[in-house]
Amino acid sequence: MEKTLVLLKPSCVQRQLIGEILNRFERRGLRIAGLKMMQLDDAILREHYSHLADKPFFPTLAASMQVSPVVALALEGIDAVQVVRTMTGATNGRAAAPGTIRGDYSVSNQQNIVHASDSPENAAIELKRFFRPEEIFEYTSGAREYIYGADEC
Ligand code: IDP
Ligand code: MG
């Protein structure tokens, strides 16, 4: 089973959409392996958004991520990275397809509700960035045999 990192950004927390977005991941059948609220500091944001450090919008992006705590999620499932990225939708909420989280809850390129890891390699790095090993739980979901076929896992 694969794990991926999701952050419910301050744009989600401030708009009181935590429960609604969590519900989408649970309903889809993803297992919540880790869940916590965190106030992000400059250092973790510089690392997390290092691929955007030279962009003119980096300062406003970093500020927008510190307005309130975020909710960090470790989600598990078969192909979880791709499943969650597809649920997340395009970066710009105005371009994101209806039915995706960003397409249903955002109309902004920056205030786009969620972060989701974009590859299994980055998911492994990002999970370590936001969770200590003991904060990731390996319990078995009681619904697992109804979420996946017997030959899938
Ligand atoms: P992603 O979140 O879809 O993976 P990235 O390119 O990794 O997109 O960008 C990370 C975050 O930076 C985005 O989710 C968004 O909040 C912000 N961002 C990306 N591009 C822009 C932009 O052109 N203007 C403002 N913010 C941006
Ligand atoms: Mg990204």
Taking only the tens of pLDDT, the chain with its 153 residues reads 999 999 999 999 999 999 999 999 999 999 999 999 999 999 999 999 999 999 999 999 999 999 999 999 999 999 999 999 999 999 999 999 999 999 999 999 999 999 999 999 999 999 999 999 999 999 999 899 999 999 997
30 belongs to a structural domain: yes
> Do 113 and 17 meet the contact criterion of CB atoms below 8 Å apart?
yes
Tell how far the Cα of 149 is from the centroid of ligand 1, in angstroms: 36
> Do 113 and 9 meet the contact criterion of CB atoms below 8 Å apart?
yes
Tell how far the Cα of 48 is from the centroid of ligand 2, in angstroms: 9
Q: The domain that contains 17 carries what CATH number?
A: 3.30.70.141
Number of structural domains (the chain) is 1
And the tokens for 37?
């609220």
User: Whose structure tokens read 């962009």?
Assistant: 55
63 belongs to a structural domain: yes
Domain of residue 71 covers: 2-146
If one residue of 51, 58, 61, 65 were mutated to test the ligand 1 pocket, choosing by the most ligand atoms within 8 A of its CB, it would be 61
**pTM score of the predicted model:** 0.97
Catalytic residue numbers read 115
User: Whose structure tokens read 């970066």?
Assistant: 91
Could you tell me the strand order of the sheet in which 70-77 lies? Answer: 31-38, 70-77, 2-8, 114-116
152 belongs to a structural domain: no
Looking at the CA of residue 112, tell me the nearest atom of ligand 1. 16
User: Whose structure tokens read 């899938």?
Assistant: 152
